[in-house]
């Protein structure tokens, strides 16, 4: 039952949320953010190196095999990692029997996925180079699956610095092993083997960190436990698919109605948006364990943390979006060929909806911590369906511009839809309007100014947003010096 808390009490809870708790969230998110950025930079440099050293055909087959492995790993997970985070976050502990059963279950699922994947590849392509690359690189599914469970345990314990360090070592290990193999004269199959070795080291690092904290790792088969958890994990698996599609619906629809140039232009813009969302996803990852814990233990604290996070998200992303709308397009014009000049106008539209996508992912992080996963999955799935409908309406007549517009409109509608559900779930009342009202009004006015005017409208838009925001005492308390109550 939703918590029956008066709006004034909720507002007080939001203002009295402990600064150190939220500071811890931001610190954890920064760990993940730094690791993700470092991993992407190292991975991009490694891909460029492989493209220069390997023959074009072999490089293409390696990329195809790694893409297949990403899908196979998601299938083998079946939502278990998200379910693990939710359930183990409730008390912050990691019972050895549960971890032992989860490791066994994930090892079985990864092994079955590997066997099916290799069998299908050999039946379709025969004993060719692609099947050989997939068979060798696919061995990474085994240590990767085990590492995913251990990573989820560390997330539940909020030990994000260890996860970030291990992720960084994984990336550096892949690059270092790959370069060593290439210097030794190895081919594409030897390079494929380095991925399995690197994930083996990743699992070993996480296992070492957990055993150092007193957790004894072992394998325990339990058929009843496995059936129960696999059924409970289905909604989480569906949510994973929804998240994977959220950023790609417009591109997929555009592929049916636009030419190759429009697809390439919007696809390049999408890469920029994905990079911009790294911080958002890191923040959501850091918040999910706390949302899960407070949902089970303290609804007022959950409300306070959610409102504080939502206010912070709007205060940060709306000015950032305004700046990005003006500064990113000219930078891309300098870096990309002239054929990609239309990306700039598309990003103007896309970044207009960016703050709403950030708020949507924040809502999704909260919903992942609830016990009503079927309802939460239905809400997120409904938002995805609306996104598809909007894309089908705007993209056929407008092409890539319609795709950008559909992304912005869908972000707003997805946030509104999930926010209505969150309000009913938590009984936020007028406290939600107090946190969201001014950012929404100020952001809409400032974004409209930048969209309608020239680059000189950026200072005016920022000034309008700042003036609107500073009229609210609760927002000033959120941004300026704020002292929590002794309780």
Same domain, 151 and 270: no
Same domain, 151 and 258: no
pLDDT band at 324 (very low <50, low <70, confident <90, very high): confident
Tokens 């004034």 -> residue: 8
- List the domain range (segments joined by +) for residue 141: 54-232
Q: Would 28 be classed as within a structural domain? A: no
Q: Would 239 be classed as within a structural domain? A: no
Mean pLDDT of the chain: 80
Residue finishing a domain among 204, 232, 260: 232
pLDDT score recorded for residue 109: 93
C-alpha to C-alpha distances, 217 to 83, 149, 164, nearest whole angstrom: 19, 11, 21
| Residue 30 structure tokens | 């920064």
Same domain, 456 and 406: yes
Same domain, 90 and 148: yes
Same domain, 227 and 344: no
Same domain, 301 and 406: yes
**Structure confidence by residue, pLDDT tens digits, 220-257:** 888 899 899 999 888 888 888 888 888 888 888 887 87
Lowest mean pLDDT segment, chosen from 23-32, 70-79, 183-192, 351-360: 23-32
Q: Would 451 be classed as within a structural domain? A: yes
Same domain, 119 and 252: no
Identify the H or E element spanning 249: helix 249-257
| Residue 202 structure tokens | 């990743």
pLDDT band at 1 (very low <50, low <70, confident <90, very high): very low
Q: Would 44 be classed as within a structural domain? A: no
The H-assigned helical ranges of 54-137 are 56-77, 80-89, 96-125, 129-137
Residue finishing a domain among 206, 232, 258: 232
pLDDT band at 217 (very low <50, low <70, confident <90, very high): confident
Same domain, 316 and 208: no
On the 0-12 / 13-18 / 19+ scale of CB atoms within 10 A, 123 is exposed
Q: Would 485 be classed as within a structural domain? A: no
Identify the H or E element spanning 19: helix 19-53
**Residue in 17, 91, 79 with CA at minimum distance from that of residue 376:** 79
**Structure confidence by residue, pLDDT tens digits, 70-111:** 888 888 888 888 888 888 887 656 688 888 999 999 999 999
Distance CA 127, CA 121 (A): 9
Residue finishing a domain among 232, 257, 276: 232
Find the mean pLDDT for residues 170-187.
87
Same domain, 175 and 135: yes
pLDDT score recorded for residue 144: 92
Q: Would 464 be classed as within a structural domain? A: yes
Q: Would 48 be classed as within a structural domain? A: no
Find the mean pLDDT for residues 199-206.
92
Who contacts 83 (Cβ-Cβ below 8 Å, separation ≥6)? Answer: 229, 232, 233, 236
Same domain, 281 and 313: yes
Same domain, 138 and 285: no
**Structure confidence by residue, pLDDT tens digits, 380-392:** 999 999 999 999 9
**Structure confidence by residue, pLDDT tens digits, 272-294:** 887 788 777 787 788 888 888 88
Distance CA 396, CA 402 (A): 8
Same domain, 178 and 254: no
Q: Are 236 and 82 in contact (CB under 8 A)?
A: yes
Q: Would 84 be classed as within a structural domain? A: yes
- Which letter does DSSP use for residue 453 in this model? S
pLDDT score recorded for residue 15: 47
Find the mean pLDDT for residues 343-357.
86
**Structure confidence by residue, pLDDT tens digits, 429-456:** 777 777 777 777 666 777 777 766 655 6
C-beta neighbour count of 386 within 10 angstroms: 16
Residue 486 has pLDDT above 60, yes or no: no
pLDDT score recorded for residue 171: 85
pLDDT band at 464 (very low <50, low <70, confident <90, very high): low
Q: How many domains does the chain have?
A: 2
pLDDT score recorded for residue 146: 93
Q: What percent of the chain has pLDDT over 90?
A: 16
């Amino acid at each position: 039952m939703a918590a029956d808390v008066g709006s004034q009490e909720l507002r007080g809870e939001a203002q009295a949320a402990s600064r150190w708790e939220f500071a811890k969230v931001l610190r954890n998110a920064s760990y993940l953010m730094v690791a993700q950025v470092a991993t992407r930079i190292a991975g991009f440099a490694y891909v460029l190196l492989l493209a220069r050293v390997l023959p074009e055909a072999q490089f293409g087959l390696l990329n195809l095999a790694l893409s297949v492995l990403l899908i196979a790993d998601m299938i083998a997970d079946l939502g278990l990692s998200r379910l693990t985070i939710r359930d183990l976050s409730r008390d912050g502990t990691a019972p050895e029997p549960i971890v032992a059963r989860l490791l066994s279950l994930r090892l079985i699922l990864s092994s079955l996925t590997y066997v099916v994947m290799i069998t299908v590849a050999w039946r379709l392509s025969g004993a060719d180079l692609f099947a050989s690359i997939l068979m060798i690189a696919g061995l990474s599914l085994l240590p990767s699956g085990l590492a995913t469970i251990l990573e989820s345990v560390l997330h539940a314990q909020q030990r994000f610095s260890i996860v970030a360090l291990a992720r960084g070592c994984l990336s550096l290990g892949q690059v270092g092993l790959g370069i060593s193999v290439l210097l030794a004269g190895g081919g594409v199959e030897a390079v494929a083997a380095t991925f399995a070795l690197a994930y083996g080291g990743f699992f070993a690092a996480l296992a070492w960190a957990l055993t150092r904290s007193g957790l004894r790792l072992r394998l325990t088969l339990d058929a009843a436990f496995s059936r129960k958890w696999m059924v409970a994990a289905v909604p989480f698996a569906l949510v994973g698919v929804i998240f994977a599609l959220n950023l790609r619906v417009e591109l997929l629809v555009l592929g049916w109605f636009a030419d190759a140039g429009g697809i390439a232009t919007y696809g390049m813009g999408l890469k920029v948006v994905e990079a911009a969302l790294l911080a958002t996803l890191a923040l959501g990852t850091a918040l999910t364990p706390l949302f899960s814990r407070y949902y089970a233990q303290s609804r007022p604290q959950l409300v306070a943390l959610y409102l504080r996070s939502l206010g912070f998200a709007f205060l940060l992303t709306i000015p950032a979006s305004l700046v990005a709308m003006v500064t990113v397009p000219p930078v891309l014009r300098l870096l990309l060929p002239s054929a990609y000049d239309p990306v700039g106008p598309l990003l103007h539209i896309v970044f207009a909806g960016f703050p709403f996508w950030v708020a949507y992912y924040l809502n999704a992080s909260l919903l992942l911590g609830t016990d009503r996963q079927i309802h939460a999955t239905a809400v997120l799935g409904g938002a995805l369906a609306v996104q598809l409908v909007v894309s089908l309406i705007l993209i056929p007549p407008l092409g890539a511009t319609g795709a950008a517009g559909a992304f912005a409109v869908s972000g707003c509608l997805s946030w509104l839809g999930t926010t209505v559900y969150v309000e009913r779930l938590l009984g936020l009342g007028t406290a939600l309007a107090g946190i969201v009202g001014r950012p929404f009004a100020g952001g809409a006015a400032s974004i409209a100014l930048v969209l309608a005017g020239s680059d000189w409208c950026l200072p005016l838009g920022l000034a309008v947003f700042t003036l609107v925001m500073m009229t609210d005492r609760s927002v000033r308390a959120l941004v300026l010096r704020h002292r929590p109550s002794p309780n």
